[in-house]
Amino acid sequence: MYGKDMKERERNMIEDCEISIARGGDNSSVIAENLELLKRLKKPTYLYEYSSEISIARGGELDPKRTYDAFYFMKEYYRKRRAAQSRN
């Protein structure tokens, strides 16, 4: 319903949602990318994080000052570029 592959489905669900509850752990790049998108779209999001490396769990709203995915802008550039090329 939301797209042809997992990445497209996740992105479309994020764009369509009103609020989000996310669970992350151990620096997953896919989750970081989704969190960055949620943050940039200003979607109210509750995040539960667990680090198995230091055995710490914490929960709360997304921090607007935190960088969840340092490569977000580069990924967006190439995503838009691929989309433009596929249209041609």
pLDDT of residue 79: 87
Q: Model's pTM, two decimal places?
A: 0.77
The count of C-alpha atoms lying within 13 angstroms of the C-alpha of 4, restricted to the half-sphere facing its C-beta, is: 0
pLDDT surpassing 70 at residue 26: no
Q: In what order do the strands lie in the sheet with 56-61?
A: 20-25, 45-51, 56-61
For the chain, what is the mean pLDDT? 88
Tens digits of residue pLDDT in 28-69: 788 889 999 999 999 999 999 888 878 889 899 999 999 989
pLDDT surpassing 90 at residue 17: yes
